[in-house]
Chain A
Amino acid sequence: MLTHLVPAAQLFFTIQNLLIVSLGLFIGITIGAIPGLNVPMTVALLLPITFYMQPIAGISLLLGVYKGGTYGGSISAILINTPGAPAAAATCMDGYPLARQGKAGKALRASIYGSVIGEFISDIVLITIAAQIAAIALKFGPTEKFSLVFFALCTIGVVSSEDKIKGLSAALFGIFIRTIGSDPITGSSRFTFGIFNLIGGIPFLPHLIGLFAVSEFFIQIERKVSSSKKDIVAPVSKNREDNIVTWKEFKANIKTIIRSTLIGIGIGALPGSGSAISAFVSYGAAKNSSKEPEKFGKGSLEGVFAAETGNNAVTGGALIPLLTLGIPGDAITAIMLGVFLVHGLVPGPDLFVKSANIIYAIFIGLIVANILHFFIASIGLRLFTKLLSISRAILFPIVIMICVAGSYTVNSNIFDVYVMIFFGVLGYIMKKFNFPVAPLMMGYILGSLLETSLVQTMILSNGSVLPIFTRPISLLFVILTVFFVIWSLFIQRKSRANKI
């Protein structure tokens, strides 16, 4: 590890990279703070631009947006009781009551501290264990890879939606979409309908811009909420004590911060879960073990710390499966996979061998981003608060402009824009019928690996799929998949029975 640190530091520490990380954080916090705009959408929109950057710069930009956006949602959650991002929904429960008590500044500071500490510790865990996991994963053959991808797809299918069948169906449909184009083994064409542009498959970028950005545009235009102006609570109180988190208050919440960080890392590392789930689990755990559970929901600082630490701790955790196994931990890291692939970097264990300097430069970038995050969030608090009142009638037409420009510029091909519109409409319909879009994208991204590893397994075993159940690591993933699906179906049935 140490041998790579010096060249990695030389790669990362340039004025350009530092500015790009700061820009990413600024964009992320801004987007996160404005309800309606979300992080996956922004990462998808920025992806075409990163294609024209150096790999470290492009990845740093998106990591900045990821970290900033996950935190930014708390600003609107605290000040207008509307989470800017789903991850901040749990922050509303105590952040807004605190703001109504004139302690918005305190809640906002707690949110910054919790977020930065959560992501800092999760990055350290990532840096510490990534190489070890990658070393184990290097020994994986096609059978283990197939079982791992199968496990990841089933997990994201059942975790990303309340309705497990819909989540799994979306993942299956994503795999089908990936089969469009040339077959990876024989090269014969599949489902191209005689369209020349489909021979290379469905293009990655227009597909995800459509699913995440254009579909959201249709959702917003349907709601026609032209302005997010609500009663914005003043972020600063006259009483100094209400604007800061005192050492005593911080000390009292250290246990909550550590617990929420561990929950965030664990949930982040699980494919498909993401920061919203982590925030609620952390919040629940903090309430259960709190000395003052009755204060939760009425303005508990502990509640804000728990939710915000929990959601930001996911950012490092979600990078563990992406960097070490090539399996994205959530929708955002799945989109970020694109920036690696376009620069010829295939995330996974091989990356630690072939491009170790780049990996360690990313690790340095993560730590630097945390430090910059603290300063940008603290200094720009008033500015980000003002952004809450920007009209969506201005924001969303700009979003659609960037969608069109971004999809077109990848190949300078208008066909890509049509693909974007198709997936935009598909994503919109899926959202309206409560089918999650994240599993579809994961199915699309992992479909190729699933197919090639399955075919390789069968070639090695004369057409038999038995090795999937006889090789120990593969069998472990199969057992985990079955257990996870049955357990989540049981939980769903139980929660439905409770609602009825």
Chain B
Amino acid sequence: MKLPFLRHTNPRRIIEGGVLILLGGAILLLIPVEIQRISGMETKLSPSFLPSTVAILLILMGLALVIQGILPPRPVESKSTFTSRESTFRVLLSIVLLIVYSILFPIIGFVATSALFFFIYAYLFGMRNLIKMTGGGIAASVIVWLFFEKLFNIPLPHGVLF
């Protein structure tokens, strides 16, 4: 049971605010490590002045979100963040696939890798027609390659295949 003053609590907003506070805090912690100090320079003119100001403002924004999440009136909620477990899995899979794609295409070659990943992504979008998926993949990757390399003379990696 929630305490009376927490009746209006909006956990999502508190989490969002918390993330901003953590982000601001992380920037503040990183400043002494990641910014070269210049001795004798006035604090306001030093390279850490703007990042510190931004970090403090982010923390204040985070606090404002947390306060909004605790105090009434409860903010009007927007639609749910993630639609379903299956869709979240699909997004995670597509992120992993994109990383694999970007690792493979300089090695194998842009056209071959793109045709393969067109096939996989079309499948993830729900297409099941193998001819369309294969033909579409080859055609699309060749057209993109022609567009970049032949029309605008922008080189793409050829790799071991093409």
Contacts and interface: CB of A to CB of B under 8 A. Distances in A.
A10 B134 CA distance: 47
Given A169-B20, A433-B16, A459-B45, A418 B156 contact: no
B144 A391 contact: no
Contact of B81 (A172, A425, A433, A455): A433
B127 A188 contact: no
B95 A421 contact: yes
Given A169-B20, A397-B117, A48 B154 contact: yes
Given A221-B94, A409-B154, A401 B83 contact: no
A221 B89 CA distance: 10
Given A179-B54, A397-B122, 17 more contacts: A183-B35, A189-B34, A193-B34, A221-B90, A221-B91, A221-B94, A224-B125, A226-B127, A394-B122, A396-B121, A397-B140, A409-B155, A421-B98, A451-B50, A455-B49, A463-B42, A497-B73
Interface string B91-102: 100110011011
Given A218-B95, A394-B122, A397-B122, A500 B51 contact: no
Interface in A420-467: 421, 424-425, 428, 432-434, 447, 450-451, 454-455, 458-459, 463, 465
B99 to A, nearest CB: 6
A419 B110 CA distance: 18
A404 B61 contact: no
A173 interface: yes
A354 interface: no
B44 interface: yes
Of listed B20, B50, B105, B118, residue having the most chain A CB within 10 A: B50
Given A222-B91, A391-B127, A405 B110 contact: yes
Contacts of B42: 463
Contacts of A222: 82-83, 87-88, 90-91
B102 to A, nearest CB: 4
A221 B144 contact: no
A24 B8 CA distance: 51
Interface in B121-158: 121-122, 124-127, 132, 136-137, 140-141, 144, 148, 152-157
Given A186-B41, A401-B140, A226 B82 contact: no
B156 A394 contact: no
Nearest to A191: B34
Nearest to B23: A173
B44 A463 contact: yes
A223 B83 contact: yes
Interface in B49-73: 49-51, 54-55, 57-58, 61-62, 64-65, 68, 73
Interface residues of B, number: 72
A274 B141 CA distance: 34
Contact of A179 (B41, B44, B45, B50): B50
A190 B35 CA distance: 5
Interface string A387-425: 000011110111011101100110010100110010011
A42 to B, nearest CB: 14
A136 interface: no
A87 B65 CA distance: 29
Contact of B38 (A173, A188, A192, A226): A188
B7 interface: no
- Top 5 closest pairs, chain A to chain B, by CB: A393-B125, A183-B47, A226-B126, A188-B36, A393-B127
Interface of B: 16, 20, 23, 27, 30, 34-36, 38, 41-42, 44-51, 54-55, 57-58, 61-62, 64-65, 68, 73-76, 78, 81-83, 87-88, 90-91, 94-95, 98-99, 101-103, 105-106, 110, 114, 117-118, 121-122, 124-127, 132, 136-137, 140-141, 144, 148, 152-157
A52 B51 contact: no
Contacts of A496: 73, 75-76
B85 to A, nearest CB: 11
Given A168-B61, A396-B121, A496-B75, A185 B144 contact: no
Interface of A: 48-49, 52, 163, 165-166, 168-169, 172-173, 175-176, 179, 183, 185-186, 188-193, 214, 217-218, 220-224, 226, 391-394, 396-398, 400-402, 404-405, 408-409, 412, 414, 417-418, 421, 424-425, 428, 432-434, 447, 450-451, 454-455, 458-459, 463, 465, 496-497, 499-500
A455 to B, nearest CB: 6
A225 to B, nearest CB: 8
A393 B122 contact: yes
20 contacts: A52-B154, A172-B61, A175-B50, A179-B54, A220-B125, A221-B91, A224-B90, A224-B124, A394-B132, A394-B136, A397-B137, A398-B144, A400-B98, A404-B105, A405-B144, A405-B156, A447-B50, A450-B50, A451-B50, A500-B76
Nearest to A492: B75
A191 B122 contact: no
